[in-house]
C-alpha cells in the first residue's frame, strides 16, 4: 500500500498511486478530495471498505494512453464530504489523488 495519503501528510500535494487498496486514509479533517484515473485500465473506487470489480461505488474509465488526461475522475470539493477510507481496485490501476484538509 505504498503512496497512500495519510492524515499526517501534506494535503495539497498530489500523489500517484499504482497499488490497489486504500488510496486515501480516513481523515475527519478532510474538506475535499479528488481522484483521476491516469492509467490505461479501468479503476473501481469505493468509499469505505475495500474496492473490487464487483463491490464499488463508481468506475473511472481508462485513458486512451498512459497519463494522457482522458481518464475518468471523481471528487468532492464542497458540501458534505466523505471523510472515511477511499479504496481502489483494478488490474493495472494508476491514479492521481489529492486531499484537502481544513
Query: Going by DSSP bridges, is the β-strand pair 30-37/86-89 parallel, antiparallel, or unpaired?
Result: unpaired
- Structural domain containing residue 86: 15-101
Higher pLDDT, 84 or 4: 84
Report the predicted TM-score, pTM, of the whole model to 2 decimal places.
Answer: 0.86
Q: Cα-Cα-Cα-Cα dihedral of 8, 24, 22, 41, to 10°?
A: -140
Please indicate, yes or no, if residue 1 is contained in any of the structural domains: no
Asked, for residue 54, whether it belongs to a domain, the answer is yes
| CATH code at position 76 | 2.60.120
- Total domains in the chain come to 1
Strand partners, 47: 86
Rounded-to-10 torsion of CA 45, 50, 51, 57: -50
Return the pLDDT at 89. Answer: 97
State yes or no: pLDDT of 11 exceeds 70: no
**Predicted pLDDT at 35:** 97
> Does pLDDT of 7 surpass 70?
no
pLDDT at 13: 73
Q: Is the pLDDT of residue 83 over 80?
A: yes
Report pLDDT digits (tens) over 39-82.
999 999 999 999 999 999 999 999 999 999 999 999 999 999 99
Would residue 47 count as lying in a domain?
yes
pLDDT value at residue 6:
53
In a domain, 10, yes or no: no
Residue 2 is assigned to a structural domain of this protein = no
Query: Is residue 94 one of the residues assigned to a domain?
Result: yes
Amino acid at each position: 500500500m505504498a503512496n497512500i495519503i495519510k492524515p499526517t501528510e501534506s494535503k495539497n500535494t498530489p500523489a500517484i498511486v499504482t497499488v490497489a487498496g486504500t488510496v486515501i486514509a480516513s481523515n475527519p479533517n478532510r474538506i475535499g478530495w479528488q481522484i483521476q484515473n491516469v492509467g490505461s485500465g479501468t479503476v473501481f473506487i469505493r468509499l469505505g471498505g475495500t474496492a473490487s470489480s464487483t463491490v464499488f461505488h463508481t468506475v473511472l474509465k481508462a485513458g486512451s494512453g498512459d497519463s494522457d488526461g482522458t481518464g475518468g475522475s471523481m471528487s468532492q470539493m464542497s458540501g458534505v464530504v466523505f471523510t472515511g477510507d477511499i479504496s481502489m481496485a483494478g488490474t493495472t490501476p494508476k491514479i492521481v489523488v489529492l486531499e484537502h484538509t481544513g
